[in-house]
Structure 1
């Protein structure tokens, strides 16, 4: 782990830098380290805070987006975070959307990259198979345009997770919950500046999903990153950071009450 992970109460998180808060949310098989490039680039000007979502710790009967949203709300309250920029990848984007829809007064910007919430192929179209390292390696590589990004360390981490029956049950429960929580009818309610960054070669939330988010969130900006799949911030960090930097600067001096994409 490149950056220290803090533990306070029931929460584990990375907290680097000072300034406006960037609240980063990882995906179903994500990790805090997925966001190292954001910390490297922005922690000199922003406070970058990344909670470890309890995806694998939830009891199977509670494993779902409602529990993850409640956890995030508790974390934001515990850390007394205000006027946050929510940035979410994959499932983290879905949770970020739910948080924004429910707590819009506390969100000044929203950034989605490869977000679920409309359509997604879980693990490339199937749920994890326990005990097959080759299968897990193939599925992890499926999330990247360049399979070399799926390092042995990353594959080992996912394999260890999916080797646990309770964790697998939680993964399946959360994935099914995400599929049930289609937000198409709710996205018109979002009135904060919204940035969409999509891999042009995304196989899990394909480009048409990015276009649909762009259509349903009025005034949102959509950018595609070429030769990139489901995690642009990992696979193309320079391009992702440049797009994000421009977006943050665009709305940096606009008062929150006026920083909406529509009146």
Structure 2
């Protein structure tokens, strides 16, 4: 990925393009590169910002989804962002939901794809055979509809991450925090427009999770992407971007 990673005031982030802000939040095992096709699609018309969430840097006792939400708010204040569209995948979606509950006045709209917050078959739940490369490869492939999406580079990165003791302890703590922090009773308070973009073949946050979000969120729309697993922006980027663009155009008409 060729984008400049900026480092300022303890934050690491990508900031590309100009215009209205799209703030993107990656998942537990995600990376900035997961959003590469989204950056390429929208940077000519929008300012696309992606902070690295400090999943591996937090003190173990404070490692959790609420702490990540507080980190996002510090970043938002540092960058002086307002009236932005927030996009989150997996754990990033969960953090986005918590952020919206606390700071709804700053967020214009929300896009969730494969978001945790209700139920997830967590990849980070346990790693009984993390030293076995083929086991890790199989777990990464499980994330996608097409196993070929799990490139060797991606598998190598996950393998290296979960075999780092300090990182895997925090991954497990974060995954447990996400499971404990169920949002079913709270998301009805998020009254901004929400686009749910879900892989029909998501095995981590299955389709019934998307359907439940659609019922609970008062101003939501649900879009399915066929032959797609947990990370639609990676596996079916053209269709994901098409749905996001249509949602953004609809927001412009409402203004």
Superposed CA deviations along residues 148-189 of structure 1, whole A, max 9, x for unmatched, are 110011111111111111111100100000001100000110
> Partners in 2 of 1:194 and 1:200 — Cα distance?
18
Q: Secondary structure at the match of 2:110?
A: strand
Paired position in structure 2 for 1:93: 93
Superposed counterparts of 1:1-263, under 5 Å: 1-123=1-123, 126-127=126-127, 129-255=129-255
> Partners in 2 of 1:126 and 1:252 — Cα distance?
43
Point out where structure 1 has 5 or more consecutive residues left out of the alignment. Answer: 256-263
> Partners in 2 of 1:63 and 1:125 — Cα distance?
15
1:197 CA drift (Å): 0.3
User: Which deviates the most, 56-65 or 12-21?
Assistant: 56-65
> Partners in 2 of 1:128 and 1:47 — Cα distance?
41
Q: Secondary structure at the match of 2:111?
A: strand
1:4 CA drift (Å): 1.4
> Partners in 2 of 1:179 and 1:128 — Cα distance?
19
> Partners in 2 of 1:167 and 1:123 — Cα distance?
14
RMSD over aligned CA atoms reads 1.2
How many residue pairs get aligned? The number is: 255
> Partners in 1 of 2:168 and 2:161 — Cα distance?
7
Point out where structure 2 has 5 or more consecutive residues left out of the alignment. Answer: none
TM-score (norm 2): 0.97
TM-score (norm 1): 0.94
1:130 CA drift (Å): 3.1
